[in-house]
Structure formats: C-alpha cells, structure tokens
Amino acid sequence: TVLFGVIGDPIRHSKSPIMLNRAFKEKGINCAYAAFHVAPNQLEQAIAGVRGLGFRGLNVTIPHKIEVMALLDELSEGAKAAGAVNTIVNENGRLVGYNTDGIGYVRSLKEEIEPSLTGKTIIVLGAGGAARGIIWALAQENPAAIIIANRTESKASELAASFSLAGKVTSIPWSDLQEACKQADVVINTTSVGMSPNIEKVPLDPSWLRIGSVASDLIYNPLKTEFLKQAELQGCRIHGGLGMFIYQGAYAFEYWTGQPAPVEEMRAVVMESLS
Ligand code: ATR
C-alpha cells in the first residue's frame, strides 16, 4: 500500500481523507490516505516521519503551510510565489513542495464559470495569505490586470509590490473600489467576510458589480455566501469556494499518481459529507 496523509492543527474536520480515498478507489490504485494531528512543535518530526516511513505524498494545512517549506528539499515556482506549501511529493527520498491551492482555484474558476481569463480585469478583495496564494496562479493566465483592494490599504500595496509581474498586479484604495468594479470581469472575495457563523456579512456592496461579470468567493462554508446570493440577484455569474478545495486535491492526486483525477467523484463524495 502506498501511503499518503494530511497534517494540520486542527485536523478533525478535514474532508481530504474521504475525498482522496474515494479518488484512489475510483482509479483502482492501492493507496491509503489518513489525517494526522500535528502540533507546531511536532512538525519537524512529522516530516522526518514522512521520510522514514516512505510516504509518497502529504498534504499540509493550517498552521504548517509556511513553516514546512524549510524542511523540504525543493520548492516549485508556484510554492515559492505563494510563500506556502500545501502538497509534498516524495521523489525517492527527495521531498518536493508544491502549492496547489492557487492553481486549484484557477482550474475551478475556468472549469466552472469562466473558461478563459486572458485579457480579463480581475479584482481581488483582501491581501492575506489566501489572496497571495491565488494571485500568482491568476497571473499565469495572462489577464489584462489584477487589482488588489484591502481594508488595510498598506497590505494591498505591499502584496502587489511583491509580485514582479511587470505591473500586472496593482492595488487601489478601498475608496476607489466602486469605480473599479465598473471595469471588472471577475471580482474575487478572499477575505473571511461572510464565512460561517457571520453569514449575513458581505465584503463589498454587490450593487457595484457589473451585470454579467463573475462574482467569486473562496469561502465554501456556507456554499453560497451572502455576497454570491446578492451578486446573482444583481445579474452576475457566481462561483463558490468548494471547487478550489476539490481541485487543489485533484492536482495533488495528479502529482502523486501521474493520472488524471476523478474530479466528479471527488466532488460528489465531498458534497455528500457536507449534507
Ligand atoms: P487568509 O490567510 O485567510 O487570507 P489573513 O491572512 O488573516 O487570512 O487575511 C484576512 C484578510 O481578510 C485580510 O485581507 C483582511 O483585511 P485586513 O488586512 O484589513 O485585516 C480581510 N478581512 C478580515 N476581516 C475583514 C473585515 N471585517 N472587513 C474587511 N476585510 C476583512
């Protein structure tokens, strides 16, 4: 049996084991995937354990995505850009770190709502770790512009400046957001505003959004946030955060096995577990 796992703190509510085990079963691969509770002071030993036990792969979740980088042998370009690792591949003893969150998000966006981002103007609300994770992946799609707006403006400008992508990533003050929305093709909420239990909150006034534009939310609890509900009433096309989770797992599966992930079965088993 080829071994896989996910480490985090907390980890009890992770849907990764049911999703990945379903994927292995679907493909008839003899693999097992388990969740491991790892406190921050145990991270180094946990990674040594991956080497010692010969795990083929590991997912890494909060709070270890940044600290784990120093314990690996190699980092992908995407992991370096995101400044975080969520997927480790054990290549005959060499641990290689990837970040599939950002590319998973973009694949979800393209598969589910907007097949091409080329030439599009994208607004990113928020400037935390989640925003950093998706911006590099969005930039790979050759959009016209990626514009960051954040409650704390300095964090938006610092984040924009950290991407050396020839002026493609910029920031604006929150006060310019209403005007900027008139030109936007895609508006993405990466803030925690609207997340359970504060489900009545919205990150910006949905009446600012352009009819036909895409409103996207990284939040998947609830599956349809108040932001998306109001955006839909406003005439926007909407995209929720569950697909990001599914596709970050799909990429991990593909890196580990070299086979295409059974995405629809993975989605179905996660949806089942949520209801
Ligand atoms: P994550 O890793 O999920 O991105 P984070 O790094 O703590 O978490 O970032 C949270 C983001 O949500 C930040 O952009 C934060 O804005 P500030 O930088 O101004 O703190 C944003 N955020 C959180 N609560 C918010 C609120 N009530 N209104 C607006 N933005 C909020």
- Is 65 considered catalytic here? yes
Mean pLDDT of 124-147: 95
Residues 6+ apart with CB under 8 A from 275: none
Average pLDDT over residues 229-234: 97
DSSP output for 124-169: EE--SHHHHHHHHHHHTT--SEEEEE-SSHHHHHHHHHT--STT-E
CATH number assigned to the domain covering 2-99+243-274: 3.40.50.10860
The helix/strand/coil state of 9 is coil
Under the banding of pLDDT at 50, 70 and 90, the label for residue 167 is confident
Which residue of 148, 192, 193, 220 sits with most ligand 1 atoms within 8 Å of its CB, as the best mutation to test the pocket? 192
* Residue 199 CA, ligand 1 centroid: distance in Å: 15
Reported as a single tens digit per residue, the pLDDT across 35-92 is: 999 999 999 999 999 999 999 999 999 999 999 999 999 999 999 999 999 999 999 9
Whether 21 has a pLDDT exceeding 70, the answer reads yes
Residue nearest atom 20 in ligand 1 by C-alpha distance = 152
Helical axes 242-257 vs 16-26, angle rounded to 10°: 50
Is residue 203 over pLDDT 70? yes
| Domain extents in the chain | 2-99+243-274, 102-240
> What's the gap between Cα 254 and its chain centre?
16
Separation between Cα atoms, residue 131 and residue 267, nearest integer Å: 23
Asked if CATH classification 2.40.50.140 holds for the domain at 102-240, the reply, yes or no, is no
Q: Is the pLDDT of residue 165 over 80?
A: no
Strands 94-98 and 87-91: antiparallel
Q: Same fold for the domain at 2-99+243-274 and the one at 102-240?
A: yes
> 3-class SS at 265?
helix
Interface ipTM above 0.95: yes
pLDDT at 275: 79
